[in-house]
Amino acid sequence: MEDLTQEEWVEQLATDENAVVLDVRTDAEVADGIIQNAVHLDFYKGQEFVNNIEALDKSKNYYVYCRSGNRSGQACKLMEQLGFENAYNLEGGMLAWTGDVVSLKS
């Protein structure tokens, strides 16, 4: 697991053809907007979250974020324990994010 600043995250993501962006916020938080092409898995779903993480392709590179960087850091540590080699946590999460987001509100 590695913590990345927004600048490092954006730069690394731009050149990573094996990348998956993972949003671990709640449904209510995601309703305010999500980073383009992110996969949403709610961290607070407990065992369901763990099962969903275990089903992911371990050969991919995961860029994980939440609201503040705390849950995504925990998710990255969990992923590491489950055998994922490349999980990157967005420092500061969405609170610090200044990039584009896609609104899910209709």
Active site residues: 66
DSSP state of 64: E
Q: Pull the structure tokens for residue 72.
A: 């995504």
**Long-range CB contact pairs, 38-41, < 8 A, 24+:** 38/65
Report d(CA 90, CA 70) in Å as an integer. Answer: 9
| Residue with token string 């392709």 | 57
Residue 24's Cβ-side half-sphere holds a number of Cα atoms within 13 Å equal to 31
